[in-house]
Structure 1
Amino acid sequence: MTAIYLCLTVIFASTVQAVSGFGFNIVGAPLLMLFIAPKQVISLTIFGALILNLMVIHKTRGQGDFYLILPMFAASIVGVLPGVYFLNLVDGAMLKIVVGTIVILMSIALAANFSVQIRRQRLASIIAGGVGGFMGGATSMSGPVVAMFLMNQKQDKVAFRANLVRFFCLNNIVILGTMYFMGVMDVAVLPLISYIVPGVLIGTWLGEKAFHRVSPAVFRQVVIMVLISCGLMSVGPEVVKHFL
């Protein structure tokens, strides 16, 4: 039963990311933690996301812009250490509430077609990457900042998804490498990979079908819903823990 639940969860999470370009960890991690130890879930979702991102990159050859993504990714790596340091100075729970609330409010603004005119896109992408890395180090939420920057730039759904999966693929590789060299990767999760691969394959296939069928307007709504889910997943648990 656990294997079936694991596969179904991965199918759902993979479909979401295959459509929107991100969201595998956001959707999959909370559901997997109902049956699997949190430490194993972290390793498992990163493995799953990496496999999925590599598949989507193969399907989107020539659509992504590494000229835009590489500086953004490099800046995100630089921003991680200050984020981790800042986390040690402030209350982590309150920080997650603040960041989650900001993500929700900015997502609502994007839903209302609010945008900021940016003339120096390369510089702005580096800043967005740095802020994303900082937020990743402080709250483990680096994705929403990058996604909101790309949405603000009015990229079409093809370029948006292609750029996001390239950014997160690089991110997955660095995280897995870091976990391996620091000796914190849970090797007990390796047998479970055989269960998630079919889920990733099916979810990616379903996501590809859905991606090409949805209109740009629906695609934008899907991305905004995933962003709002990011904010709620950050705010919700902390509010429940501290105020209820």
Structure 2
Amino acid sequence: MLDISFVVLLIAGLITGFSKFSVGGMGLLILPIVMIAFPGPEALGILMPLYVVTDLMAVFSYRKNINWSVLWRLLPLAFLGVFVGGKLLAGLDASQFVYILGVIVIAMILLGLYLDFRPAGFMRKPIMAYGMGFLGGVVSTTANAAGPLFSLFLLEQKLDKTTYVSTRAWAFFIINLMKVPLYISLGLLSVSTAKISVMAFPGLLIGSFIGYHFLKKVNPVQFKWLVRILSCMAAFKLFLFS
């Protein structure tokens, strides 16, 4: 019988790789899945090596056409948000963390729905870069779920597709690097958690391969709604066990 931890990590790696190299949007699912086997904030540390590896692959693939002016508006307050998010994590016990994660997942799903049906031209105002950067830093640090926030901001900057993908990849790469020493200081990332993370790498490589080669065959709209339904189910499961 397969160990549940190995199965969970294999699935998490598969989703992480597929999401990074295809249509994206599956980040809300990954942490709740890992928490099936590793409940509590330590799941954040277990996932961090996966994100760093996929970020490195992404920035190597999208190393051109980065809009640095947009990034420089977004990142300074994102760093502050990472610090504040770390302070919040330090004060949470496992049950509080599970509940807050469920709230964040639902909030990000609602934000995605808003993005679908309402214009968000106000995101082009300079002050919004600072607000979204700060909030994105907090949400990324506490729940690894800042994708919808950064998508909302970057999509409204009128970037072409290549520039959008490249700028988004570099934003996550830089923020995740900032989170590494923070997670180490909080005891969430260590040699022991890194050894656990290694079990997810086969799934990560398979998911990346599938995502890269099958991107054109995926219906983005149908896939997006499937992810939202699964994310809602994951959030409600978190509420039941908080």
Stretch moving more, 35-44 or 66-75: 35-44
1:167 & 1:230 partners in 2: Cα distance?
A: 23
Q: What one-letter code is carried by the residue in structure 2 that aligns with 1:163?
A: T
Partner of 2:111: 106
Q: How far apart are 1:122 and its partner, in Å?
A: 4.5
Which stretch shifts more, 160-169 or 120-129?
Answer: 120-129
Aligned residues: 234
Contact 2:21 2:212 in 1 (8 A): yes
Q: Tell me the residue number matched to 1:69.
A: 71
Give secondary structure in 2 for the equivalent of 1:107: helix
TM-score by length of 2: 0.73
Taking a change above 3 Å as real, the CA distance of residues 50 and 22 of structure 1, as seen in their structure-2 partners, is farther
Q: Could you tell me how far 1:219 is from its partner in structure 2?
A: 3.9
Structure 2, unaligned runs of 5 or more:
none
**Which amino acid is 2:16 matched to?**
A
Q: 1-side partners of 2:161 and 2:220: how far apart?
A: 7
What is the match of residue 164 of structure 1? 168
Amino acid in structure 2 at the alignment position of 1:66 = W
Q: Which residue of 2 aligns with 1:199?
A: 203
Deviations 1:95-150 (A, max 9, x none): 666655543333223223x2122484554322211222344567664333212222
Letter in 1 for 2:116: A
Shift of 1:93: 7.9
Instruction: Tell me the equivalent position of 2:130.
Output: 126
C-alpha distance in 1 between matches for 2:16 and 2:43: 13
Q: TM-score, normalised by structure 1?
A: 0.73
**SS at the partner of 1:185?**
coil
Distance (whole Å) between structure 1 residues aligned to residue 120 and residue 54 of structure 2: 31
Q: 1:34 aligns with which of 24, 33, 36?
A: 36
The percentage of counterpart residues that share the same residue type is: 17
Post-superposition shift, 1:55? 0.3
The amino acid across from 1:105 in the alignment is L
- The CA distance in 2 between the partners of 1:42 and 1:120, in whole Å, is 31
The 8 Å contact of residues 35 and 43 in structure 2, kept in 1 or not, is answered as yes
How many Å apart are 1:172 and its aligned residue? 1.6
What secondary structure, in the 3-state scheme, does the structure 1 residue paired with 2:113 have? Answer: helix
User: SS in structure 1 opposite 2:119?
Assistant: coil
- Which among 155, 166, 180 is matched to residue 151 of structure 1? 155
How large is the Cα RMSD of the aligned pairs?
3.7
